[in-house]
């Protein structure tokens, strides 16, 4: 259950993407033809969580089946407990919970172990349980809320580090995930190097455009910039 892509993301890549909003990333990925990269239902559990960047470590649930989704399954070799022990520091755990909102996939103890292992964040289209305890662990979480019942009340855990769907987005182990106040966005591993160049440049351009707007400039021809405004922007970069 391992990925061929190194799970440790380069420190420089993290530094660059930590300064790029998920909104900007969706725009740049749209220009590459990728429309479906924002994971629905992934909202920050706590206001003011920092923007985080990491490789995706995937976990997958399927619908609950009574002979498999039992409290005894938590001790199985194929369990969320075993998956957590396989998570490398700095990864972002991305969990396919099928959008189930009445069974919490992880509670405070599991989140505490993830935090202890140095996991960067938990992202899921489902919900967590033991809300106060989860918040107390300090693990940054993006999810769709909280519910008291355990995972086996509505889900069966089937594996980790395999392709999943989270919030309607295809996620492969080793893809890059960026999370901020707008939710979770996926960068395919094959597009990482390009995004490291074009996304920061888009942030610089939009900062310049914002300055022009604050000075009273009208939007037509400015956002997006026409040839004249592109030339003006490029001139400011050369100063």
Report the distance separating Cα 115 and Cα 37, nearest Å. Answer: 26
Q: Determine, yes or no, domain membership for 184.
A: yes
Mean pLDDT, to the nearest integer, of 221-237?
94
Residue 8 has a pLDDT of 85
Contact 13, 196 (CB under 8 A): yes
Q: Is the pLDDT of residue 2 over 50?
A: no
Q: What is the mean pLDDT of residues 135-152?
A: 97
Tally the domains of the chain: 2
Residues 148 and 234 in one domain: no
Same domain for 156 and 138: yes
Return the pLDDT at 153: 95
Render pLDDT for 64-110 as a digit per residue (tens, 0 to 9): 999 887 888 878 888 999 999 999 999 999 999 999 999 999 999 99
Clarify whether residues 82 and 179 are in a common domain: yes
**Cα 89 to chain centroid, rounded:** 15
Backbone phi, psi, residue 118, to 5°? 85, 20
Phi-psi region for residue 132, left (φ > 0), alpha (ψ -120 to 50) or beta?
alpha
Let me know if residue 5 belongs to a domain: no
Q: How does pLDDT run across 144-180, given as a tens digit for each residue?
A: 999 999 999 999 999 999 999 999 999 999 999 999 9
Q: Are residues 219 and 126 in the same domain?
A: no
Residue 111 in any domain: the answer is: yes
- Give the H or E element holding residue 208: helix 192-214
Query: In the 8-state DSSP scheme, what is residue 226?
Result: -
Range of the domain at 156: 11-189
pLDDT at residue 110, as a whole number: 98
Is 70 a member of any domain? yes
Q: Binning pLDDT at 50, 70 and 90, where does residue 19 land?
A: very high
- Mean pLDDT across the chain, nearest whole number? 95
How confident is the model over 117-127, as a mean pLDDT?
98
Residues 126, 218, single domain; the answer is no
- Say how far apart CA 53 and CA 51 lie, in whole Å: 7
Same-domain check for residues 25 and 88: yes
The mean per-residue pLDDT over the stretch 206-216 comes to 97
Query: Of 189, 205, 222, at which residue does a domain stop?
Result: 189
The CB density around residue 140, as the number of other CB atoms within 10 Å, is: 21
Query: Residue 137 — pLDDT band, cuts 50, 70, 90?
Result: very high
The rounded percent of the chain whose pLDDT value lies above 90 is 90
Query: What average pLDDT does range 106-117 have in this prediction?
Result: 98
pTM: 0.93
Q: Quick check: is 18 in a domain?
A: yes
Provide the strand spans (E) within 80-173: 92-96, 121-124, 141-143, 155-160, 164-166, 169-171
Length of the chain in terms of residues written: 239
Asked whether the predicted pLDDT for residue 1 surpasses 70, the reply is no
Q: Summarize pLDDT for 23-37 with one digit per residue, the tens.
A: 999 999 999 999 999
Are 231 and 156 found together in one domain?
Answer: no
| Chain-centre distance for alpha carbon 116 | 20
pLDDT above 70 covers a percentage of the chain that reads 97
Q: For position 76, which CATH number holds?
A: 3.50.30.40
pLDDT in tens, 50-67: 999 999 999 999 999 998
pLDDT of residue 4: 61
């Amino acid at each position: 259950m391992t990925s061929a892509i190194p799970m440790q993301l380069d420190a420089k890549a993290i530094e660059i993407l930590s300064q790029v909003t998920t909104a900007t990333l969706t725009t740049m990925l749209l220009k590459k033809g990728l429309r479906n990269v924002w994971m629905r239902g992934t909202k920050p559990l706590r206001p003011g969580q920092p923007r985080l960047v990491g490789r995706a470590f995937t976990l997958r649930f399927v619908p609950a089946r009574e002979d498999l989704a039992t409290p005894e399954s938590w001790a199985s070799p194929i369990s969320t407990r075993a998956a957590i022990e396989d998570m490398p520091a700095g990864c972002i755990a991305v969990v396919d919970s099928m959008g189930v909102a009445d069974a919490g996939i992880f509670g405070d103890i599991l989140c505490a172990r993830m935090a202890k292992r140095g996991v960067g964040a938990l992202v899921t289209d489902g919900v967590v349980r033991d809300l106060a305890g989860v918040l107390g662990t300090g693990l940054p979480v993006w999810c769709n809320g909280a519910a008291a019942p355990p995972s086996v009340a509505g889900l069966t855990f089937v594996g980790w580090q395999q392709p999943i769907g989270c919030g309607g987005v295809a996620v492969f182990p080793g893809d890059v995930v960026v999370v901020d106040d707008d939710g979770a966005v996926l960068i395919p591993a094959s597009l990482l190097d390009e995004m490291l160049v074009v996304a920061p440049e888009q942030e610089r351009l939009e900062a310049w455009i914002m300055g022009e707007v604050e000075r009273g400039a009208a939007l037509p021809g400015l956002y997006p910039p026409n040839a004249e405004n592109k030339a003006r922007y490029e001139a400011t970069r050369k100063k």
